């Protein structure tokens, strides 16, 4: 048969396939979540997230060391405080769990890049992401405490702050307080399109952040909506965000693609706890090849347009990239 166009010419061996890849991955694009528990000594396994741990302040550098050895140079910190109250006051405490974790990490690994999650849900006794007025989260009152929390993280040495609360106007509030205190160079990664997803279940156990009543649909996005994500990203761009994010990742690849195409800022995606737990469970049951599905899932997120990925598989993915199994 006389065929001029034979696409298989570019698939016939590993060398040519690597040469022609359209999506190329690097460990530099990976961010690893670290949970720090103020009440803990050493580390403790998280039952809902096989292979993940809570770390005490005395052990948090162990998590960092493992990241560095794997080739991951960035983390995002989540704190589990010893004290919770109605307004989440531990969140902006100068000696709070995240603030002390930052100092501990930076003292030993000054070049390791530390991003901090900025939200109230881990710190409030009701588990919601802001200040309550009755049974509703008061948007504007919450902005003040979010800004104070972000400032305290930056003053403790955080390289970047990442507000995940989904309050209206929080990027502007945080940018203003950082700039006011001479921290103009601290970037803001915004959880711009954070959906009210069923995929967050294991995280709520890991972070101790499940709401004591109701849900978060009044501030997180409706999974039915696509155009709204573009609106949220546009508002964050106007308010001064440096990086945009879509969360979760796998069920929202279309949103990642549209937002990535629409805006010039770097795009992050968060492969959340439920996505990780499903792959882990299916692999343990022998239903899938966990390693290959891990690689393929991450690849799909980058192919959709993400420039960086927060993932519990960061260390394993970095090694897979080094081996050439993905990248």
User: Does residue 247 carry a catalytic annotation?
Assistant: yes
Pairing state between β 132-133 and 136-137: antiparallel
Cis ω before 248 (30° cut-off from 0): yes
- Residue 225 DSSP code: -
Which residue, among 62, 52, 150, 152, has the nearest Cα to 100 in the 3D structure?
Answer: 152
311 in Cβ contact with 302 (< 8 Å): no
**Burial of residue 44, with CB atoms counted within 10 A of its CB: 0-12 exposed, 13-18 middle, 19 or more buried:** middle
> What distance in Å separates the CA atoms of residue 114 and residue 186, rounded to the nearest whole number?
11
> What distance in Å separates the CA atoms of residue 146 and residue 130, rounded to the nearest whole number?
8
> What distance in Å separates the CA atoms of residue 164 and residue 216, rounded to the nearest whole number?
12
Give the 3-state secondary structure of residue 303. helix
**Residue 228 CB coordination number (10 Å):** 14
β-pair partners for 270: 310
Which listed residue (84, 247, 280, 315) is catalytic?
A: 247
What is the residue-wise DSSP string for 73-132? -EEEEEEE-S--BTT-GGGG-TTSHHHHHHHHHHHH-TTSEEEEEE-STTTBTT--SS-E
- In sequence order, the 6+-apart residues with CB closer than 8 A to the CB of 123 are 79, 81, 84, 85, 88, 89, 90, 91
Which listed residue (84, 108, 141, 194) is catalytic?
A: 194
Catalytic residues: 194, 247
């Amino acid at each position: 048969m006389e065929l001029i166009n034979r696409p298989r010419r570019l698939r016939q061996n590993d060398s040519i396939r690597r040469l022609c890849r359209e999506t190329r991955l690097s460990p530099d694009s990976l961010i690893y979540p670290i949970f720090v528990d103020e009440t803990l000594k050493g580390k403790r396994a998280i039952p809902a997230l096989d292979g993940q741990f809570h770390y005490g302040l005395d052990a948090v550098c162990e998590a960092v060391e493992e990241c560095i050895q794997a080739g991951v140079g960035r983390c995002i910190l989540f704190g589990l405080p010893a004290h919770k109250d109605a307004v989440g006051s531990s969140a902006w405490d100068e000696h709070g769990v995240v603030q002390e974790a930052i100092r501990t990490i930076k003292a030993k690994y000054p070049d390791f890049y530390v991003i901090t999650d900025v939200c109230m849900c881990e710190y409030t006794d009701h588990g919601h992401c802001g200040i309550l007025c009755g049974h509703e989260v008061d948007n504007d009152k919450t902005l003040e405490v979010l800004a104070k929390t972000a400032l305290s993280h930056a003053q403790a040495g955080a390289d970047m702050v990442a507000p995940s609360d989904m309050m209206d106007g929080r990027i502007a509030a945080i940018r203003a307080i950082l700039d006011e205190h001479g921290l103009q160079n601290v970037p803001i990664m915004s959880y711009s399109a954070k959906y009210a997803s069923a995929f967050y279940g294991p995280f709520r156990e890991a972070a101790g952040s499940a709401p004591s009543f109701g849900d978060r649909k009044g501030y997180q996005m409706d999974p039915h909506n696509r155009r709204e994500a573009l609106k949220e990203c546009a508002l964050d761009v106007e308010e001064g965000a440096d990086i945009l994010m879509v969360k979760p990742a796998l069920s929202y690849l279309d949103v990642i693609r549209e937002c990535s195409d629409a805006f010039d800022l770097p795009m992050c995606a968060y492969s959340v706890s439920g996505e990780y737990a499903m792959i882990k469970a299916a692999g343990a049951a022998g239903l899938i090849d966990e390693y290959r599905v891990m690689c393929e899932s991450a690849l799909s997120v980058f192919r959709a347009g993400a420039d960086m990925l927060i993932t519990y598989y960061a260390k394993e993915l970095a090694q897979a990239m080094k081996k050439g199994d993905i990248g």
